[in-house]
Structure 1
């Protein structure tokens, strides 16, 4: 029960919500860590530190005091990192020559706090002094009501970055934390999906592949369980169909054998010959149909093999029979698939090219994503309207491609079925100078490896 509750809670929606929350928490943690490690540089700028408010308060107190006490009050208001001095004359203050020492931003904040309009406020930075200068420092000058001046000067910078760079750092930390959490979360979601995809692809290449282990959030688990149920039903259906076809094979062959035996007693030689021809044709159709539906080559496990070597082996077999077939393509290609099934496909296409045409030829090329094999011949070809019909079981083209040359119309159907089970496609087209081109396109699965020479 606890496991079921855990699975129900492990949903995609939950992971998305957790991703957002974790991204926010990690962003706050990184910002706090930045403040601790970076010290004053991570603090707010001067206008947000409260120093201006403090300077305004000190200014109002000293401005209200008699002139003889202002020096002592300024000294009493000083502290580490915040030095206050009173100057009765502006000329006694050494400042760098700048065009406009008035700080507009500081004035906008200080003027209301000073409760006196028209006060002169000047601000200087270390960069205002000519280099090198031992007097270079930050300085804030505020004029009092009697034209004397207060100078506020920290010995070193005691406030943080300006607003723009500080916000950029915060945004950068948010992006880093979000990317980190998103990477972990997406890997948590993508790994089960990739596992699911590999299992589905494996089932497409190997009908007897084991079920996929349900992993990941609840929605992905449900999809995997549904796929496993469908896979089991298909495997059960194939087993039942194979057993049924085996029974049909036994039941049909017995009456055909009896018909042949009874035909031996027919005295009319012509009628006997016709009967035997029909019996043989029915027997060939039954055998071809059973071979098509119960094709063990289509159930063989997928493995890595040299597709070029398989083609060369076929060419050698035809050469032993006195048939020369031109070959143009790579001399080595390690491919992941079912070798017996693909051998049957190529045998079927080459047999058709030899029976119904002339000058059989194989042209093929391989790329990182697919393999293309063309079986070519010179002959009458196939009518344009029948290029797809020939893949229908038991369909036979009249004329040059008919039953007089052998076959019951299942070869191309079986070839296309095998190619489709590999995830590829088999198409026919008439060549411009006469003849037929049968093109087999097979996908290359990246997870299975690929080697071409």
Structure 2
């Protein structure tokens, strides 16, 4: 007896695949049977496959072996509503239409092999051979004593040929398979779509709620594992934020004491150097803490007008007498974190203004991707350094003057925010001098 915890789940992908195959086969058989019933004789096998040839051969052999005076009674006894059998002592007693070639073709070889009458003549007549209405099928077989058997059947179609029938059967199998597969895949695809939707939502909003575990056993287990990972990441981010807040407080306190003690230094030059170092350390600490904490990453993802956000940035710089050219749609709704993307664009624009001239923004959008280009005319960046500038604390200039070069975290933070949106941040040198930064953002289907 199995323990309750070891019982195999019933709703699994394996069982769904097996049930789909079985249901497809049963549905195909059901459609084929329905086709036979509705289409009547057209769906039945042709004459050579119906068993009628074997029946005619058996009746002929039996009557041929009987006494002549019993043959007429035997022929009447084996007749039924679908096939009438009559015995005639002479060919002249049989009334059939005159045709050029009354030879029997379809199934003749098989019939000759089954007959024991010894090479007697066989004649066949179609309903179209008879003059006027009332035509029927007729088959004449000559027995060994030169008497004749006449087999008559009402006018009917003996069914489709093998080729058309096989095509219809294949069509029914394909139709039933597609029908069952659509129903089964819908049952499997819906929880997978919800899983993918929840994963994408967590990619742009780490505070997204857990995904409801639905669907077959394997998908539910994957969703539960993802929810557990999501909870661990949320717990880790929360702990890291609290830890960084404590570090921020603990680091600022000794720096404040250093500045207070510097007030008692009598040498003005040494005092100025100490204050300069304290201010630089304070700026580095603030920048590092902002990078690691990054409150913009904690904001809720929402739909917003990206074009309006860029226009707001441009207006802010215009108030500072800095003109930034803009090319793009007047309205562009995007799903993401507006504060984070605003920080990315501000960082790129600051670099374009600080290290170049003629800053500009170009926006291109389609159904799958939004591309925001920040352009400038300046010295650019050597190609071999395009990736290094995204490394934390990497600075192209050797000075540590926070007023000119910062501490080398701006582009790192910008790329981190773009990556969290599922996008890319690339740098390219422009023809004629200058740099262009591409922010590639995927369109979220949420």
Q: Please, what TM-score do these two structures have when normalized by structure 2? A: 0.91
Name structure 1 gaps, 5 residues minimum: 449-453
The answer as to 2:322 corresponding to 1:323 is yes
Write the distance in 2 (CA, Å) between the matches of 1:401 and 1:270. 19
Matches within 5 A, 1:107-256: 107-126=108-127, 128-129=128-129, 133-157=132-156, 159-256=158-255
Count of aligned residue pairs for this structure pair: 444
Aligned equivalent of 1:97:
99
Write the distance in 1 (CA, Å) between the matches of 2:102 and 2:73. 31
Matches within 5 A, 1:15-164: 15-65=16-66, 70-71=71-72, 73-87=74-88, 88-89=90-91, 92-95=94-97, 97=99, 99=101, 101-103=103-105, 105-126=106-127, 128-129=128-129, 133-157=132-156, 159-164=158-163
Change beyond 3 A, Cα 1:416–1:169: same
Q: CA deviation at 1:362?
A: 0.8
Find the residue that maps to 2:394 and give its secondary structure: coil
Find the residue that maps to 1:283 and give its secondary structure: helix
Write the distance in 1 (CA, Å) between the matches of 2:174 and 2:80. 40
Write the distance in 1 (CA, Å) between the matches of 2:12 and 2:92. 72
Write the distance in 1 (CA, Å) between the matches of 2:6 and 2:172. 36
Change beyond 3 A, Cα 1:384–1:113: closer
Change beyond 3 A, Cα 1:329–1:98: farther
Q: CA deviation at 1:56?
A: 2.0
Q: Could you give the per-residue CA deviations for residues 267-288 of structure 1, whole angstroms, max 9, x where no partner exists?
A: 2222111111111111111111
Contact 2:283 2:402 in 1 (8 A): no
Q: CA deviation at 1:399?
A: 6.7
Write the distance in 2 (CA, Å) between the matches of 1:91 and 1:80. 23
Q: CA deviation at 1:264?
A: 1.3
Change beyond 3 A, Cα 1:138–1:363: same
Write the distance in 2 (CA, Å) between the matches of 1:405 and 1:117. 115
Write the distance in 1 (CA, Å) between the matches of 2:363 and 2:288. 30
Contact 2:427 2:435 in 1 (8 A): yes
Q: CA deviation at 1:63?
A: 3.1
Matches within 5 A, 1:420-439: 420-439=419-438
Write the distance in 2 (CA, Å) between the matches of 1:83 and 1:190. 60
Contact 1:10 1:218 in 2 (8 A): yes
Q: CA deviation at 1:302?
A: 1.2
The answer as to 2:415 corresponding to 1:413 is no
Name structure 2 gaps, 5 residues minimum: none
Contact 1:380 1:400 in 2 (8 A): no
Q: CA deviation at 1:53?
A: 2.4
Write the distance in 2 (CA, Å) between the matches of 1:364 and 1:357. 20
Contact 1:357 1:377 in 2 (8 A): yes
Find the residue that maps to 2:287 and give its secondary structure: helix
Of residues 392-401 and 137-146 in structure 1, the stretch that sits farther from structure 2 once superposed is 392-401
Q: CA deviation at 1:186?
A: 1.6
Contact 2:400 2:406 in 1 (8 A): no
Change beyond 3 A, Cα 1:44–1:7: same
Aligned equivalent of 1:302:
301
Contact 1:7 1:218 in 2 (8 A): no
